[in-house]
A = this chain, B = another copy of it.
């Protein structure tokens, strides 16, 4: 079991404190799993208090022993209830914050109401914006973890040609792929920030199922196995001569990479094959353009222009209810910043890790396209996956 190094935690805390001081925030109470892991090295039941100046305090309800063992923070304090926190801060000589940051995009309404009473003299403001901005730029340590996650993801994707076969059901193939991932240490749960963002690995969709849209903000959807969880693989039996789109997340040692490939048992209609080649061309063109300073909007518009030129604008990133993006940040969560989307004017920075995923959806026929994860470096993008981008043709 690895633990996040002390120097790493210290520099993350210091960087957040910088942002807090620039935003007149005197303290932040970090409650969400991903953020707590990022700033303390552990996820347990409790709260991490980060003052704008001074040392953070990690308050743990359960499991204290594991938190104390795994976190490099000096102050790990057992509590029974977060109501104790203001008094414990006072006892340790901390001034209660006039302005307290909370992760308003993820903590519950009831927690907000409760914390409003617990910190009765503090004004509660959102700190998720600062956190997400900070987390978008990865450290060298994080990039190493993401590279390892990418190598393991490449590795379990290698099993797909042996798993996909006509006559098998989507959910059966999905299960076999997930098993291949777990065997390599995939943590199973994939974190997608935000309300109702329930997720299970990704989607493996054959033929027409690749054209079924969903509630999820992505180009793919799929029927799912029932109306309660209407996303991802269904029970459709794979046929010959149709695309099997595999868009799966590798989540290893806390970090995600996002990857998509298309497989076909037999051959594919020229139209779909051509669309796939266009998607790969878009990816490669974006990978050439993207570097520090370029905006998400520029990349999206450039991708869209290539789709229009190929006569595929209707199919680009969905059909009917398209999404207006062509990629997104990945890290501890699948949907980190930046979003490479219409209207996003924040420039790329070195250290960002992004998934580029140009895809084309043909209702009734299926989905084609590509997805790979890249690190933004000063000269440009560094691609992580070495898995070939072309359609994987399977004999049967």
Binding site for B on A (CB under 8 A): 1-4, 31-34, 37, 41-45, 62-63, 65-66, 70, 102, 104-113, 126, 169, 171-172, 174-176, 178-183, 185-189, 191, 195-196, 198-201, 212-217, 221, 223-230, 232, 234-235, 251-255, 321, 332
A229 touches B108 (CB 8 A): no
Instruction: Give the distance to chain B from A23, nearest Cβ to Cβ, in Å.
Output: 17
**Chain B residues with CB below 8 A from A226, complex form:** 1-2, 187, 252-254
B321 touches A1 (CB 8 A): no
A126 touches B110 (CB 8 A): yes
A214 touches B183 (CB 8 A): no
Instruction: Give the distance to chain B from A253, nearest Cβ to Cβ, in Å.
Output: 5
How long is the Cα–Cα vector from A111 to B171 in the complex, in angstroms?
34
Select the residue from A31, A63, A111 with max chain B CB neighbours within 10 A: A63
10 contacts between A and B (CB under 8 A): A1-B226, A2-B227, A63-B321, A65-B213, A106-B108, A171-B182, A175-B186, A185-B235, A188-B225, A229-B254
Partner of A195, one of B2, B104, B107, B227: B107
**13 more A-B residue pairs beyond the given contacts A44-B215, A185-B225, with a C-beta to C-beta distance below 8 A:** A43-B229, A45-B196, A62-B217, A62-B321, A63-B213, A70-B227, A175-B186, A187-B224, A187-B228, A188-B200, A189-B229, A191-B198, A228-B332
Chain A interface SS verdict (over half): loop
A187 touches B42 (CB 8 A): no
A183 touches B175 (CB 8 A): yes
Instruction: Give the distance to chain B from A4, nearest Cβ to Cβ, in Å.
Output: 7
B104 touches A43 (CB 8 A): no
* A201-B188, A227-B4 given; A183·B171 CB < 8 A: yes
Count of this chain's copies in the oligomeric assembly = 2
How long is the Cα–Cα vector from A175 to B182 in the complex, in angstroms?
5
**Chain B residues with CB below 8 A from A229, complex form:** 43, 187-189, 251, 254
* A172-B182, A182-B172 given; A196·B113 CB < 8 A: no
How long is the Cα–Cα vector from A343 to B252 in the complex, in angstroms?
40
How long is the Cα–Cα vector from A216 to B66 in the complex, in angstroms?
12
Partner of A109, one of B112, B212, B253: B112
How long is the Cα–Cα vector from A321 to B66 in the complex, in angstroms?
12
- A-B pairs, top 4 by smallest CB distance, nearest first, are A175-B182, A228-B254, A188-B200, A109-B112
How long is the Cα–Cα vector from A199 to B178 in the complex, in angstroms?
15
How long is the Cα–Cα vector from A171 to B189 in the complex, in angstroms?
13
**Chain B residues with CB below 8 A from A66, complex form:** 212-214, 230
**Chain B residues with CB below 8 A from A186, complex form:** 171, 175, 225
Partner of A221, one of B4, B41, B63: B63
How long is the Cα–Cα vector from A200 to B201 in the complex, in angstroms?
11
How long is the Cα–Cα vector from A176 to B183 in the complex, in angstroms?
8
Instruction: Give the distance to chain B from A185, nearest Cβ to Cβ, in Å.
Output: 5
**Chain B residues with CB below 8 A from A109, complex form:** 102, 104-105, 107-109, 111-112
* A182-B175, A253-B226 given; A62·B215 CB < 8 A: yes
